[in-house]
A and B are shown apart, each in its own frame.
Chain A
Amino acid sequence: MSDSTVVGLHPQEQHRPELLHHFADEQQQRDASSLGMWVFLATEVMFFGGLFCAYLIYRHWYFGDFAAASKSINMALGATNTAVLICSSLTVVLAVWAAQTARRTLLIVSLAATMLLGLTFLGIKGIEYKDKFDERHVPGAFFSFEKEPIPGHPGQYANPGHAQIFFALYFVMTGLHALHMIIGLGIFLWLLLAAWKGRFTPEYNTPIEIGGLYWHFVDIVWIYLFPLLYLIDRHP
């Protein structure tokens, strides 16, 4: 079964319940899980990559319209959300460290804090969506973006059709990002319950580590989304 046998100990006896039958030892299981998450994140990069590609092309073509549309979204709320997510990355790192060093209370607090920050992010995002809805900036039959000036070009107004492409990408990209946040909250809820039951030890904490990888990835996506969507041609 296991080839990392401790002398004098029967392989069966040193089996931890977390070690699945088809792995030779815990090292292999840990390596497999973490590589699996990295590979999955590579697919996520490609998933968002298609949208970023579309965004960059239209931003290049319709720069003025994109700048006008970007000006209408709330930079202060976006910046707050960026800060919230960066803080959540810190709490995730704390959770990983707490699990590795057997600090159960800190682990539970960090996981809970991460979830709280995630929920704060979604709440702020919800306020932003509601503003867009009230301003009739949601693409579709009720969309309206008339007489919005293009920054830096006095007397010129944005083309509503092109601005609608901006808002379409804004909603699809931030929407998919928010969906990833919700899935992340589900993962962290599961981690929190498992941590509560004391399942994580310095020897076994891979779920925290790979759950954390996922959370960091979702944060990084936002780090790109924020300047691309909120900060087009902003001047004081």
Chain B
Amino acid sequence: MSMESAIPQPVERENYLNKKYGVWSWLLTTDHKRIALLYLISITFFFFIGGFFALLIRLELLTPAGDLVQADTYNKLFTMHGMVMVFFFLIPSIPAVLGNFLVPMMIGAKDLAFPRINLLSWYLYIIGGVMMLHCMLTGGVDTGWTFYAPFSTNYSNTKVVEAGLAIFVAGFSSILTGLNFVVTIHRMRAPGLTWSRLPLFIWAHYATSIIQLLGTPVLAVTLVMVAAERALHLGIFDPKLGGDPLLFQHLFWFYSHPAVYIMILPSMGIISEVIACFSRKRIFGYSFVAFSSIAIAVFGFLVWAHHMFVAGTSVYAALVFSFLSYAVAVPSAIKVFNWTATLYKGSIHYDAPMLYAFGFIGLFTIGGLTGLFLAALGIDVHVTDTYFVVAHFHYIMVGGAVMGYLGGMHFWWPKISGRLYPEGWARLAALIVFFGFNLTFFPQFLLGYIGMPRRYYDYSHMPEFQVLNVLSTAGATVLGVGYLLPMVYFLWSMRYGKPASDNPWNAAGLEWKTASPPTTFNFEEEPVVTWEAYNYEELDAPRTEEVPIVR
């Protein structure tokens, strides 16, 4: 963007960043790449708000007594940490930023199928976000991010309806993103780009979109019921009137369990791209990795009741849901095994995106395996609502989803900004994040196993929990530094980073055949695809003279 960088360069080409200037050229843009950047700024904002709540939670737990905040405040802190992180950071993070930026480019399209709906989805996100901020600033919510009835519908005297509406609106933003992706992937692929040639990032986003489309409306209508019940005392979830609180849990988890796959599947897509590029190999078992994304999306809809094993579901239902929860581990394991098999005899480069990918594989494996503990009926009874569960889902949602998100941001940053990030700092940050993450959350597995319940602000009757809590809080500060660093050097590199070439990683994929940063319509001419995905063997083959084909 600036002309004063150290390296002399010719007059800057026109690209999507410098084509037009001014606030309105951004706020009214229909360019998927600019909308991706709008999302990037907004989700980063909410990430730090959610992180701030997390920091306060960890500070409170530093000492056994409830001294920093009182019970009511603490309830609001973990509620708003969850709501902000889940609905305003994790769900939109990869699809709305990297997916928005990359899906059209990876399939050789000029834009998403519905550019104006794409912009509408950002505005819905912002409206939902502003409602959430307003709700937080005027009192907050204390129901937990799960809104369990009848507490949320009859008893809580905090701003449940407003928070529910904020999430309702943000949910439509997520639905519209999914709708755009499904239609774009079906209808806008470049000639020759068959389904079996699609990058795995696209497969992952396709599977994610299916969940967004079929799951989110159920959450939306559930929140409508909660709001209506709270306002009018309808009785749908109120046991006093014959309603069933368990029905709320069924409806809520029908969305909110698959929502975890909305967070993790795009991350898996990124890992597939990064592993292939930095081991210079075609992904081992391409079609298995592709279809395991679809399998996760399908199985993911059939496991929700494992959140309710101790809530009064029948034992036979619990048996079935336990079995299905084990089944969802199969496609996840297929991915992990195929990634590691890809590394075998690969020519591995330890650049920052690859470090995040390694971190992802390790943390996701721990998160996934502890998920199997929780799918087992006996163990689940012991660790339900303890820090074991908290550690488990943070290994998936932070150790998995956020590691993938950061890896992807590094991998595609040269394409997004046209600049290179400082590699040394990036590797350091990746290591800090990995170390800080484990220090934060591994002690929580131990805490949960020895019986510390989640959502307690005061554990003064059990002071022996303190050592592990101190470790966890120390880890959280390290993790915080690890998250701040990339933000600092990404911003720094926008002005001072070295200009990136069109394909700095020598990576396969149509997005690397555009300029860095790309022009508004991505491609000079419509690409025609004649090769398979991840043709690294071809890319790296020693260049020889063109040999005319003799027939």
Binding site for B on A (CB under 8 A): 3, 20-24, 28, 31-32, 35-36, 39-40, 42-44, 46-51, 53-54, 57-58, 61-62, 139-141, 159, 161-162, 164-165, 168-169, 172, 176
Contacts and interface: CB of A to CB of B under 8 A. Distances in A.
Given A39-B213, A46-B214, A22 B179 contact: no
Contact of A165 (B183, B221, B235): B235
A36 B225 contact: no
A172 B232 CA distance: 11
A32 B247 contact: no
A35 B183 contact: yes
Interface string B200-224: 0000000000000111111011101
Given A22-B111, A32-B113, A43-B175, A161 B217 contact: no
A173 to B, nearest CB: 10
Given A48-B221, A51-B221, A42 B236 contact: no
A39 B179 contact: yes
Given A3-B526, A42-B213, A168-B228, A162 B242 contact: yes
A40 B120 CA distance: 15
Contact of A31 (B111, B187, B224, B240): B187
Interface in B223-243: 224-225, 228-229, 232-236, 240-243
B274 interface: no
A140 B191 CA distance: 59
Interface in B81-115: 109-115
Contact of A139 (B224, B225, B232): B232
A60 to B, nearest CB: 11
A144 to B, nearest CB: 14
Between A36, A48, A140, A176, the greatest number of chain B beta carbons within 10 A of the residue's beta carbon is seen for A36
A20 B113 CA distance: 10
B232 A140 contact: yes
A21 B116 CA distance: 13
A22 B110 contact: yes
A32 B218 contact: no
Contact of B214 (A42, A53, A57, A164): A42
A47 B223 CA distance: 11
B113 A36 contact: yes
A54 to B, nearest CB: 6
B385 interface: no
Closest 3 CB pairs of A and B: A168-B234, A47-B217, A50-B221
Contacts of B112: 22
B437 to A, nearest CB: 34
Nearest to B215: A46
Given A140-B233, A159-B242, A172 B179 contact: no
Contact of B218 (A35, A36, A40, A46): A46
B215 A57 contact: no
Contacts of A58: 236, 242-244
Identify the interface centre among B115, B175, B183, B251: most chain A CB within 10 Å of its CB: B183
Given A42-B213, A168-B229, 13 more contacts: A22-B109, A32-B187, A39-B213, A43-B175, A43-B179, A43-B217, A44-B217, A46-B215, A47-B220, A50-B225, A54-B225, A58-B244, A140-B234
Interface in B453-498: none
A42 B217 CA distance: 10
Interface centre among B220, B242, B251, B521, by most chain A C-beta atoms within 10 angstroms, is B242
11 contacts: A21-B110, A31-B187, A36-B114, A50-B217, A50-B251, A54-B247, A140-B233, A140-B234, A164-B241, A165-B242, A169-B236
Contact of B526 (A20, A24, A48, A61): A24
Contacts of A22: 109-113, 115, 188, 521
Contacts of A54: 225, 236, 247, 251
B537 to A, nearest CB: 31
Contact of B179 (A20, A21, A36, A165): A36
Nearest to A172: B228
Given A21-B521, A47-B218, A50-B221, A139 B233 contact: yes
B236 A36 contact: no
A63 B184 CA distance: 46
Contacts of A3: 191, 526
A165 B110 contact: no
B182 interface: yes
A23 B115 CA distance: 11
A28 B184 CA distance: 10
Contact of A168 (B117, B215, B235, B244): B235
Interface centre among A44, A140, A172, by most B CB within 10 Å? A172
A139 B232 CA distance: 7
A32 B116 CA distance: 14
B349 interface: no
Contacts of A50: 217-218, 221-222, 225, 251, 254
A28 B233 CA distance: 49
A35 B187 contact: yes
Contacts of B134: none
B85 to A, nearest CB: 24
B20 to A, nearest CB: 15
B13 interface: no
A57 B526 contact: no
Interface string B510-528: 0000000000010000100
Contacts of A62: 242
Nearest to B248: A54
Contact of B225 (A23, A48, A61, A172): A172
Contacts of B184: 32
A57 B244 contact: yes
B216 A165 contact: no
Given A43-B175, A164-B235, A172 B213 contact: no
Nearest to A53: B251
Contacts of A168: 228-229, 232, 234-236
Which residue of B117, B182, B217, B224 has the most chain A CB atoms within 10 A of its CB atom? B217
B182 A39 contact: yes
A46 B217 contact: yes
B539 to A, nearest CB: 28
A161 B242 contact: yes
Nearest to A42: B213
Nearest to A27: B187
Contacts of B188: 22-23, 28, 32
A53 B232 CA distance: 21
A164 B114 CA distance: 43
A180 to B, nearest CB: 13
Residue from A43, A141, A169 whose CB has the most chain B CB atoms within 10 Å: A43
Interface string B246-270: 0100110010000000000000000
A164 B241 CA distance: 8
A39 B526 contact: no
A36 B184 CA distance: 9
Given A28-B187, A35-B187, A140-B233, A161 B241 contact: yes
